[in-house]
A and B are shown apart, each in its own frame.
Chain A
Amino acid sequence: MKILRGDIIQTSEKASIGLIFDDDTVVSMGPNSEMAIDEYNFVPIEGRLSFVVKFIHGTLTYISGQISKLSPQSVRLETPVATIGVRGTQVFIKLGG
């Protein structure tokens, strides 16, 4: 299944999901989680690079890919309580009780 910019990804109570982006970024979410892909650009030849995800609730793991290496300032994980800028690493986020 291909995922496009603007897509919202939700998991139900008993589901979880793993995603691999073509710049090697890896994201997974546990049950009762929701995220939206706000921006995804990976065109290194043209210098178009960005990764902006809105994570709304639940649990999420993120492993940075090439966008984070080539253009760290273009990677943002946005949540309702804070924005997380990422420079080449793995981040886990849990929102809500």
Chain B
Amino acid sequence: MGIKRGAMRRKLASFFLAVAFLVLAACGTKNLIVLVPDPDGSVGAIQVANSAGSVEMKTPNQATVVPDENTAPRAPADITMEEIRVLFAEALAIQPAPPVHFILYFEKDSNRLNSESLGRMADILAAIRKRASMHVGVIGHSDTLGDKLYNQNLSMRRAAAVRDLLIQNGVPAGHIEATSHGEKNLLIKTGDNVGEPKNRRVEVVVR
């Protein structure tokens, strides 16, 4: 029995090896397109098309091969993470982490952060340190209460307040790009002259 089992195991092992080689051989052919989950785990879909046909891919860790522009993309087949890591080693090694977004809220008609948002500054500074970021975007916004020009200026003062806080905490000024959108880019859509706390904000993007 023991011997049989051993033989079975060896057979299974060689079967898996053969499968692995087959998939790798398929990858060795030209022009491979792989669907991978996003870093946050979500998976979308891709459509691969040329004059000869198209395939829709929705299952992560699958690959299609397109031999040439006059041959339809092949049916998607599974590909392992190990194969992906080998095939795309250099591109993956340098792949930047996706930017992180933060939203800070302000008191009404003021460039003072509310206390909860003030507490979030620590998270922003941690994200900047962790990524060794040299590109921090700071975008000021206002709600629609009052005059458009006034709000443009208010959103600029809010962005400047966040920029100054970052600088006080050691972020080099040259790494920060501050802009402002006034009341043109509302988080919560409202009519004109509407006070909305969620629109009194600064968005910080750590790249």
Q: Report chain B residues within 8 Å CB of A81.
A: 30-31, 50, 66-69
Q: With A45-B185, A91-B34 known to touch, is A20 a contact of B50 (CB < 8 Å)?
A: no
* Pairs of residues from A and B, 5 with the lowest C-beta to C-beta distance, nearest first: A89-B44, A88-B44, A30-B90, A30-B91, A28-B95
B50 touches A92 (CB 8 A): no
Sampled A-B contacts (9; CB under 8 Å): A20-B135, A28-B92, A61-B95, A89-B43, A89-B44, A89-B45, A89-B46, A90-B36, A92-B34
Q: By CB atoms of chain A within 10 A, which of B43, B90, B99, B207 has the most?
A: B90
Cβ-Cβ contact count across A and B, 8 Å cutoff: 137
A89 touches B92 (CB 8 A): no
A47 at the interface (CB under 8 A from B): no
B88 touches A94 (CB 8 A): yes
Q: With A63-B98, A81-B69, A82-B49 known to touch, is A94 a contact of B32 (CB < 8 Å)?
A: yes
Q: Report chain A residues within 8 Å CB of B27.
A: 94
Nearest-CB distance from A66 to chain B (Å)? 10
Q: Report chain B residues within 8 Å CB of A24.
A: 98-99, 205
Could you tell me which A residues sit within 8 Å of B by CB distance? 16-20, 22, 24, 26, 28-31, 33, 44-45, 59-61, 63-65, 68, 72, 79-97
A19 touches B46 (CB 8 A): no
B37 at the interface (CB under 8 A from A): yes
B73-103 interface bits toward A, Cβ cutoff 8 Å, 1 = contact, 0 = none = 1000000000010011111111111110000
A82 touches B96 (CB 8 A): no
A79 and B48 alpha carbons, distance in the complex (Å): 10
A24 and B89 alpha carbons, distance in the complex (Å): 22
A54 and B96 alpha carbons, distance in the complex (Å): 20
A90 touches B37 (CB 8 A): yes
B38 touches A45 (CB 8 A): no
Nearest-CB distance from A59 to chain B (Å)? 5
A61 and B32 alpha carbons, distance in the complex (Å): 12
Nearest-CB distance from B93 to chain A (Å)? 7
